[in-house]
Structure 1
Amino acid sequence: MIRNLIFDWSGTLADDLAAVLTATNGVLGHHGRAVMDREEFRRLFRLPYTEFYQDVLPGISLESVKEQYMKHFPSDHSVVPMLPFAREFLEFGVATGRRMVVMSSAPEEHVRAQAEANGVTHFFEAIWGGIIDKRIAVHELLAEMKMRPEDTAFVGDMRHDIDAGKAGGVLSVAVATGYESVALLMESVPDVVLPDLSKLSLLLGGALPVATVGALIFDSKGKVLLVRTHKWQNRWGIAGGKIRRGESAMDALHRETMEETGLEIGDVELVMVQDCIEPEEFESSAHFVLLNYTATVVGDDDIEVTLNDEAEEFCWVLMEEALNMDLNKPTRWLIEEVAQKKR
């Protein structure tokens, strides 16, 4: 079973081709060379990038190339979006307990800035950037991260990524979303070729139950906070979300509550654990293990709920009023359990 995933960044997870072309043309222009259009760049560019620049800028030092490249790369890293299905796969990877790292030839500061701008940094245990030869670095990464080759896949969009996977003795997965065509990728004979990351979860399989946390939050008047979300067919429920790898359930509860409501909570108590297998109300097929708590608002004199984009609205109601609302089933069962214990 594949438990570890090494991802290339550019063209595999992020669409940075336009930004890279801008920086490359800045380097070429600085040295008096003709700039390239998108198709010419894709045809000529290859990894290791040192060989590409030796071809297009013979006699120019790598230090000069790096200096001009960094100078001309767009300073706004939010212009580099995630590729379609990338975020969905990363969420799948976390949900199924995979360990994920990035190994990229792009400057590490660029990869980190782009990951931060796209809100995906937390998915990765490590980010290795500025790698010239991945065929060598893959051995260092496997050893440092204590990843067994037989449990690992290297996912990339260029022949060099496939070669690196083969050098490391891991499963090599090519995706046709980036810098090189399928015809070029096939020259390195990848173990698997995929049109995009939407099919990678099918290849890996083994979806495991997703552990989540949520709290029934009380204010000083005994009212509870409910949020309405499209994920549960616009039914009312409690704030909460998935536990990240390496994160305790309690830390996840405080983080998710803050992210979804802007509230700090205290007096946290575990109430129940619910199996939630293929819930008919949820927006997609799922198997959750729900860790349900009660909690109280910290700083109750001035409550200000700030919802993120996962919820449409919120309300504070008494528990008996809540039971008359259109609740999702796990929330209804939680409130009924809490009400029973308070009797």
Structure 2
Amino acid sequence: MFRNFIFDWSGTLVDDLPPVLEATNHVLSIYGKPALDREEFRRVFRLPYREFYEEMLPGVPLPELEVHFRQAFAGSKSPVTILPHAREKLEWCKQHGVRAFVLTSMDSESFKKQLVDLGLADFFEATYSGVLDKRELILEIISKHRLVPEETAFIGDMTHDIDTARHGKLTSIAVLTGYTLAGPLSESRPDLTVPDLDALRRFVGRPGWRPRPVATVGALLHDGKGKLLMLRTHKWGHRWGIPGGKIRRGESTEDALRREIREETGLEIDRIRFVIVQDCIDSHEFLRPEHFLLLNYVARVKSGEIVLNEEAQDYRWVTPAEAMGLDLNRPTRTLLVEALNQGVIEHPV
């Protein structure tokens, strides 16, 4: 039960990336460094930001850089706006009696001005700004406000926010609306990842919300000639596995399987055979802690050419023996062994 939310500010509740990028490039230009584009900035920027500047401008004192940055940020014409669904989420917290706080690295003067200008000041019990390393303050906040860690979540858009939540033994919730790209953010293994705060509101629903196991389908695909299709994906730590995904409400398991195979590979399947159901609870191989119920099948590729979507980075057709030699995720290896034991993988006549 979440009774308390600690929010990051930039990239979580407000979009200040345009003026931050503009000010950062101004600082870099002073020292003869090339400008960063938006995607490159999101890829390399990190908190505590002193580490970012030590890498980009080694040897330059941080107070000197902060003076240049704040002048450029204050003079930027790029607007700072409330992110979509942020106000609605804060109103939801107020309506349900969920205590809300802010912990941000933004300098206090700029933060307080934004807080008032955007009309968000009344939503928070307390705010903490100008914090270079949030891990150094999170335990004090928990103690001062008598927050129960099991009832508290830290919500942010950067890996440092996930590290801060972990340091305070809080639930970590990552939002994909801010500074850090989804791939690097997933590597920090947040407890929950949402595309935006509206999705979080819908997922949580009410203070008594608890996550439930997620039912999924997946299939070991073969070509009827002794070869198996294996995919490599960042979701499973760049290990090899099988295509599959979540079952939608009102969708049969086989319909879900056909849809997921089609979406992830472009292939159509037939001769679907159920093999095994597996529990996969907070696997360290998966990109985030999650409880899956894996309904695993074997199926033959009927038609189509392989076209991978964004979930997979590579594929191979291999024999069962070759598959055993790959760096398979554990559920796929279990499925492969069980399919071989049951004799349901088709071989050429």
Residues 1:75 and 1:127: Cα distance change in structure 2 (over 3 Å): farther
User: Would you say the 8 A contact 1:103–1:129 is kept in 2?
Assistant: yes
79-88 vs 69-78, greater mean Cα deviation: 69-78
Query: 1:32 corresponds to which residue?
Result: 32
Query: 1:120 corresponds to which residue?
Result: 120
Give the CA deviation at 1:78. 8.7
Amino acid paired to 2:164: A
| TM alignment of 1:13-32, pairs within 5 A | 13-32=13-32
Amino acid paired to 2:54: Q
Give the CA deviation at 1:116. 1.1
- TM-score, normalised by the number of residues in structure 2: 0.57
| TM alignment of 1:7-86, pairs within 5 A | 7-75=7-75, 79-86=79-86
Give the CA deviation at 1:25. 1.3
SS of equivalent to 1:174: strand
Query: 1:102 corresponds to which residue?
Result: 102
User: Would you say the 8 A contact 2:23–2:76 is kept in 1?
Assistant: no
User: Would you say the 8 A contact 2:22–2:76 is kept in 1?
Assistant: no
Aligned-residue sequence identity (percent) comes to: 46
Could you say what the CA RMSD is over the residues aligned between the two structures, in angstroms?
Answer: 1.7
Give the CA deviation at 1:150. 1.1
User: Would you say the 8 A contact 1:112–1:127 is kept in 2?
Assistant: no
User: Would you say the 8 A contact 1:108–1:127 is kept in 2?
Assistant: no
Give the CA deviation at 1:126. 1.4
Amino acid paired to 1:137: L
Give the CA deviation at 1:207. 6.4
SS of equivalent to 1:79: coil
User: Would you say the 8 A contact 1:106–1:129 is kept in 2?
Assistant: yes
Give the CA deviation at 1:76. 7.1
Task: Provide, for residues 251-302 of structure 1, a one-character-per-residue CA deviation record: whole Å limited to 9, x for no partner.
Answer: xxxxxxxxxxxxxxxxxxxxxxxxxxxxxxxxxxxxxxxxxxxxxxxxxxxx
Distance in 1, matches of 2:154 and 2:205, equals 16
User: Would you say the 8 A contact 1:176–1:195 is kept in 2?
Assistant: yes
SS of equivalent to 2:52: helix
Distance in 1, matches of 2:13 and 2:78, equals 14
User: Would you say the 8 A contact 2:19–2:78 is kept in 1?
Assistant: no
SS of equivalent to 1:142: helix
SS of equivalent to 2:14: coil
Determine whether 1:198 maps to 2:198: yes
Residues 1:163 and 1:77: Cα distance change in structure 2 (over 3 Å): farther
User: Would you say the 8 A contact 1:6–1:102 is kept in 2?
Assistant: yes
User: Would you say the 8 A contact 1:173–1:193 is kept in 2?
Assistant: yes
| TM alignment of 1:137-152, pairs within 5 A | 137-152=137-152
Task: Provide, for residues 86-126 of structure 1, a one-character-per-residue CA deviation record: whole Å limited to 9, x for no partner.
Answer: 01101001000111111111112212211211111110111
- Unmatched 5+ stretches in structure 1: 209-343
User: Would you say the 8 A contact 1:138–1:168 is kept in 2?
Assistant: yes
SS of equivalent to 1:73: helix
User: Would you say the 8 A contact 1:17–1:179 is kept in 2?
Assistant: yes
User: Would you say the 8 A contact 1:77–1:113 is kept in 2?
Assistant: no
SS of equivalent to 2:74: coil
Task: Provide, for residues 289-338 of structure 1, a one-character-per-residue CA deviation record: whole Å limited to 9, x for no partner.
Answer: xxxxxxxxxxxxxxxxxxxxxxxxxxxxxxxxxxxxxxxxxxxxxxxxxx
Distance in 2, matches of 1:75 and 1:149, equals 40
- TM-score, normalised by the number of residues in structure 1: 0.58
Query: 2:346 corresponds to which residue?
Result: none
Query: 1:174 corresponds to which residue?
Result: 174
Give the CA deviation at 1:9. 0.5
Query: 1:87 corresponds to which residue?
Result: 87
Query: 1:311 corresponds to which residue?
Result: none
Query: 2:132 corresponds to which residue?
Result: 132
User: Would you say the 8 A contact 1:85–1:198 is kept in 2?
Assistant: yes
Amino acid paired to 2:7: F
Aligned residue pairs total 208
Amino acid paired to 1:109: E
Residues 1:207 and 1:151: Cα distance change in structure 2 (over 3 Å): closer
Distance in 2, matches of 1:13 and 1:77, equals 20
Give the CA deviation at 1:30. 2.0
Give the CA deviation at 1:205. 2.7
Residues 1:171 and 1:207: Cα distance change in structure 2 (over 3 Å): closer
Query: 2:155 corresponds to which residue?
Result: 155
SS of equivalent to 2:26: helix
Distance in 2, matches of 1:4 and 1:192, equals 16
Give the CA deviation at 1:74. 3.2
- Unmatched 5+ stretches in structure 2: 209-349
